[in-house]
C-alpha cells in the first residue's frame, strides 16, 4: 500500500464563521463530499464515514504559548512531544534543541531502515539549494528530517521526470516567480491525479503544502478562499485517481488559516483526516494530539 501524508501548514479547526474562517466561506465540494456534506470546522470533528475519518488533535501539547512550525512538525515526524521535552514551542525553523530530535530522520529514517521506501515528494527549485549551500537558508524541520535519514531532496529535474511535484501543486509559481517559462503548468484537477501517480511510487510519500500558512498570516479572505478552492480541485483529482488499499492522511502543525481575525497562530485543534483503506484507521483510534500521528503511521506501514 501507499500512505500519502499531505501536510497542510497552519490549518486548524475553527469556528463555523464565514466572517473569519475561509473554510466556512469557500465552496469546497470535494472536501465536503468526503465529510458527508460537512465542513472542515470544529463542530465537524469527530466524523466517521465509510472510508473517511476526521479527528481533532491538540497541537498545544500541554506547553504554554501558541504552537509553532518547527516544533509542531518535529512532533509529527518523531511521535515525541518535542515542545514538552525542550520546554517551549519554536519556529518557524528549528533551533538546535529541536533539530536534535530529528537527527535520526524521524519516520523517514525508521521506515527506510525497515526496508520501506519513503520520500518527500516536493520538488525544490535551484535557488533553494543555492541558499542552503551558501548558508543563507537553513532547513525547516521536514527537509531536515529527510536529509538526516539519508534521503535526497527532489529537484526540478525530478519533477520533470515524474518523481516530484511543485509545492503549489500546479507549478504556476515556478513560472511566475522563478523565471522558468518552460516548466509545464497543470490544471488543479490534473495536478491532483499527478500527485497520486507520484505518491504511488513509494510506500510512504510526504507532501508539504505551506501556502496555507502564508495565507493565514496574510489575513486576506478573498485570497484564502481562492487558495482553498484550488486545493479542493486538487483533492478532487487526487480522489479520482486514488486506489483501494491506499491511505491518504491529512494533518497540520498548528492553527492559523481558520481564523483570519489574527495574524498569529491559534491554539485551535488541528484536523487529522484519513481517507481510504478503512482497516488502517483503527491504528489512529484514541489519538488525541500530534504525538500520536507518527505512531499510527508506523503501525500502518510496518
For the stretch 141-186, pLDDT in tens is 999 999 999 999 999 999 999 999 999 999 999 998 888 888 999 9
**pLDDT at residue 227, rounded to an integer:** 98
The per-residue pLDDT of the chain, averaged, comes to 97
Looking at residue 180, its pLDDT comes to 82
The DSSP annotation for the chain comes to --EEEEEETT-----S-TTT-HHHHS--HHHHHHTTT--SSGGG-SEE-SSEEEEEEBSSTT-SS---HHHHHHHHHHSS-HHHHHTS---SS--HHHHHTTTT-HHHHHHHHTT--EEE-BB--HHHHHHHHHTS----HHHHHHHHTTPPPB-HHHHHTTS-B-TTSSSHHHHHHH--TTSPPPPHHHHHHHHHHHHTTSSEEEEEE-HHHHHHHHT-HHHHHHHHHHHHHHHHHHHHH--TT-EEEEE-SSB-TT-TT-SS-B---EEEEEES-GGGGGGGTT--BTHHHHHHHHHHH-
pLDDT for 213 equals: 97
pLDDT band at residue 22 using 50, 70 and 90 as cut-offs = very high
CATH of domain 3-246+266-301: 3.40.720.10
Give me the pLDDT at residue 266, please: 98
Whole-model pTM above 0.95? yes
* Band (207; pLDDT cuts 50, 70, 90): very high
pLDDT for position 221 = 98
Q: Supply the pLDDT for residue 179.
A: 81
* pLDDT tens digit sequence for 212-267: 999 999 999 999 999 999 999 999 999 999 988 999 999 999 999 999 999 999 99
Is the predicted pLDDT of residue 288 greater than 90, yes or no? yes
- For residue 102, what pLDDT is reported? 98
pLDDT band at 4 (very low <50, low <70, confident <90, very high): very high
pLDDT at residue 302, rounded to an integer: 96
Per-residue pLDDT, averaged over 12-16, amounts to 98
What does the pLDDT look like over 185-201, one tens digit per residue? 999 999 999 999 999 99
pLDDT tens sequence across 37-87: 999 999 999 999 989 999 999 999 999 999 999 999 999 999 999 999 999
Question: Please, which pLDDT band fits residue 118 given cuts at 50, 70 and 90?
Answer: very high
pLDDT score of 178: 86
Amino acid at each position: 500500500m501507499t500512505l500519502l501524508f499531505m501536510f497542510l501548514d497552519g490549518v486548524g479547526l475553527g469556528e463555523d464563521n464565514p466572517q473569519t474562517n475561509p473554510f466556512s466561506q469557500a465552496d469546497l465540494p470535494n472536501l465536503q463530499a468526503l465529510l458527508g456534506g460537512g465542513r472542515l470546522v470544529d463542530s465537524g470533528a469527530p466524523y466517521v464515514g465509510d472510508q473517511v475519518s476526521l479527528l481533532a488533535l491538540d497541537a498545544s501539547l500541554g506547553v504554554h504559548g501558541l504552537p509553532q512550525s518547527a516544533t509542531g512538525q518535529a512532533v509529527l515526524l518523531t511521535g515525541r512531544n518535542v515542545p514538552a521535552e525542550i520546554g517551549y514551542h519554536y519556529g518557524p525553523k528549528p533551533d538546535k534543541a529541536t533539530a536534535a530530535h530529528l537527527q535520526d530522520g524521524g519516520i523517514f529514517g525508521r521506515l527506510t531502515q525497515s526496508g520501506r521506501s519513503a520520500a518527500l515528494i516536493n520538488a525544490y527549485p535551484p535557488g533553494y539549494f543555492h541558499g542552503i549551500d551558501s548558508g543563507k537558508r537553513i532547513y525547516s524541520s521536514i527537509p531536515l528530517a529527510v536529509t538526516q535519514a539519508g534521503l535526497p531532496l527532489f529537484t526540478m529535474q525530478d519533477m520533470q521526470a515524474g518523481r516530484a511535484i511543485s509545492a503549489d501543486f500546479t507549478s504556476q509559481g515556478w513560472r511566475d516567480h522563478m523565471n522558468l517559462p518552460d516548466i509545464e503548468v497543470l490544471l488543479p484537477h490534473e495536478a491532483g491525479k499527478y500527485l497520486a501517480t507520484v505518491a504511488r511510487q513509494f510506500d510512504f510519500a510526504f507532501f508539504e503544502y505551506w501556502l496555507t500558512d502564508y495565507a493565514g498570516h496574510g489575513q486576506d479572505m478573498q485570497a484564502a478562499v481562492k487558495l482553498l478552492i484550488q486545493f479542493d480541485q486538487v483533492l478532487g483529482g487526487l480522489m479520482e485517481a486514488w486506489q483501494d488499499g491506499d491511505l491518504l492522511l491529512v494533518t497540520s502543525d498548528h492553527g492559523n488559516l481558520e481564523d483570519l481575525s489574527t495574524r498569529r497562530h491559534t491554539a485551535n485543534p488541528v484536523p487529522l483526516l484519513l481517507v481510504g483503506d478503512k482497516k488502517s484507521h483503527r491504528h489512529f483510534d484514541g489519538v488525541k494530539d500530534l504525538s500520536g500521528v507518527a505512531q499510527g503511521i508506523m503501525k500502518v506501514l510496518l
